[in-house]
Amino acid sequence: MHQRFLRGALVAALLTPLALVLSPAPAAAQPWRPTPTLSWNTHLGGGTLPDGGVEANNADRIEDVVVAPDGDVIVTGWTNSSSFPANAGLPLASGSNRDVFVARFSLDGRTLEWARVFGGSADDMGTALAVTATGEVFVVGSTQSTSINIAPDAAAPLATRYDNHVGRTDAFVARLQADGELDYFMYLGSALDDEARDIVLSRDGRLAYVVGKTGRDDSVISGSADVPFPPNNELSNDRLRAFEAFVSQVDVSVEGDPVVLWTRILKSSENDIAYSVDVQGDAIYVGGVVGDAFVRDSTTTIVRADFARGEDDGFVARLESDAGITWFRHVGGSGDDEVRSVLARPGPDGGVTVVGNTDSESSPVPGSGTDVFALRLSQDGFPVGGGLRVSTTGTGSEQTQGHAVLDPSGNVYIGGRTSSLSGFAFNAFDTTLASGSGNVRDAFIAMVDSEVQEVVFASYVGGAATEDEWVQGIGIGPEGQLVFGGFSNAANWFTTVSGYDLTANGGTDGFLLSAVVDSSAPTAGTVSARLSNGTLTASWTEFSDAESPVTYEWGIGVVPTETSERAFEFVGRSRSITLNDFWPTHEGPFFVIVRGTNASGRSITAASSPFVAPPPPPDAGTDGGTGDGGTGDGGTQDGGTSDGGVDAGTGDGGSGDEDDRSPLGWSCASSGGSGSLALTGLLVMLALLAMRRQRSSEPRE
């Protein structure tokens, strides 16, 4: 190699790092700081009697909120109002203190599409909801009634196998059709006191998982001899203390005939309860509270962290679909700790986000006072990051007792109540705590980012109430719809003039508010796909969003708008996929469809150009006469250019690299913009000039 070339290359090598230093750096991503805006609000409750009078001491409480696939909002809770706006018959089906209600509102909150009330002669309460892909509603709660009516003297249809009230209080599962008609009411309990606190459906909708507590609240040791709990076997009848946490798997695939397949008791030597359940594939995650160290009934169960020796610990447990307990983790410190929500995270990494209450100083999240905390656990039960407290002001306290929720990107929405007078609310639609006579608390709604590293916004919710106000349930719907509900006895606190019922009805009313966190969806990128020898590769350019990061899902369809051949699969922020052994039963055409979703849940899809799938290769040994195996493609012995020389790695036109790295391996390929290109070019020219000067002083060879 010529010496002049070596010297020129040396100059270029020395100057290139300077180019990297002087090149303009890519703009750092700015923290997402949305300020949500309310789009509608409504009360739900009774109070005004037919004669124009006002009902005294009435209470209507929303306990859970879900958003149906079509965007309608469904709520459950309990009411003791004789003037509750039910569709048929008298609202109070029994004349008791409390009855269950389920109600459905339109997407815009202006229309109460239906409301159903059912109950018996004693107290009955709805606590949690789940909705199928076709709009059927499952509700769970507790009942003290030996018979259930849907209107005076009109009995509710009962589940075939579970039609008897057994104990003083039973858990229940009820199924309603999409139009609100009650399909069945199912008692779920023992001869003791049982309550259901949460429900989740399997992905195919055939199984329901129900959690709660079973036992006696009067501190009488339960024993197991006379307290069979469905399905009445060794696992379901396991008892140790006054009450224990339970999780039941229920087959709900046959209309009118649900079957409890198994129940698992989670117990300590003190009182325990399960508040939350979620599923992720075959894994079932349960969260709640234990009063002492978890008692293992199998050596295969791994305890990830010991009891912290405070008053109570929160807990998270992972079970499998066969009722086995994979691991159990105590979540707590030296004080009183609770896990109120356990939420399965989207994406291949899985794991859960955990939300609860703590007054411990060092664990689960360091701090002081009584606060709401959030943290992440891996699929194996180990902490991911440090977690956070929703408020660090130290001026008051926060608590949650309802249902937190994740949006499609993994952001966490938490509701509860707060007594923090200052420093709590930011990026809020309500920045002032509206205290009432004898009450210095407001409800609140807060959003935490998907990595559980920062609070994105926190807002007060409510008015000048004389009793506690709570946000109990939160629903996330299509296109970033955020709906949250609870109860308050404040009047005239709504700020939006859109909604079904804008006037408080007296007593305690349920309330629903809908907010827009981000008003725009991302801008779609371009999707490229290539199928070669059964291997499908696809990549896409970045979907742009000026306000928040975008995550992606991909699928396959025979039309560019529907993933009929392969359902959407979450890939996080990756922008390329490879699928091996794609040999469909027909040739297509097919489309790779990509959905990009921003941090508020708004999404947009884009599809590749159509491509066809050739039939699978013939069986080994039937190569159609190319006995040498080497030239069956017309001379392309290496098999690398049988497609006419098109490289499979350039099917997207060069835009498929996820992070656009340079061939040198540095992240500098194009991130510096045109300025870095110009500077690098200038330095190369200087190197060439150095070569030219050196050549003029050397004899020609």
Cα–Cα distance between 380 and 513 in angstroms, integer? 37
- The segments of the chain whose pLDDT lies below 70 read 1-32, 48-54, 56, 88-96, 217-226, 299-300, 394, 479, 619-701
| Predicted pLDDT of residue 58 | 86
Per DSSP bridges, beta strands 99-105 and 182-188 are unpaired
Q: Among 227, 218, 124, which residue's Cα sits nearest to residue 174?
A: 124
Which domains can be identified in the chain, with CATH numbers? 60-143+170-215+244-266 (2.130.10.10), 295-389 (no CATH), 395-517 (no CATH), 527-612 (2.60.40.10)
Q: Among 534, 558, 529, which residue's Cα sits nearest to residue 615?
A: 534
| Predicted pLDDT of residue 306 | 86
| Predicted pLDDT of residue 218 | 59
Cα–Cα distance between 393 and 433 in angstroms, integer? 14
Measure Cα distances from 470 to 416, 487, 489 in Å: 5, 6, 11
Measure Cα distances from 36 to 427, 445, 447, 549 in Å: 7, 11, 10, 17
Measure Cα distances from 425 to 53, 306, 466, 614, 664 in Å: 39, 35, 21, 59, 47
Q: What angle do CA 93, 94, 100 make, to 5 degrees?
A: 60
CB atoms near residue 221 (< 10 Å) = 10
| Predicted pLDDT of residue 660 | 38
**pLDDT tens for each residue of 340-364:** 999 999 887 889 999 999 999 888 9
CB atoms near residue 278 (< 10 Å) = 21
Q: What's 600's DSSP letter?
A: T
Q: What SS3 state is found at 692?
A: helix
CB atoms near residue 407 (< 10 Å) = 24
Q: Among 501, 505, 408, which residue's Cα sits nearest to residue 105?
A: 501
Cis amide prior to 231 (ω within 30 degrees): yes
Q: What SS3 state is found at 113?
A: strand
Burial classification of residue 576, based on how many CB atoms lie within 10 Å of its CB (0-12 exposed, 13-18 middle, 19 or more buried): middle
Cα–Cα distance between 436 and 328 in angstroms, integer? 42
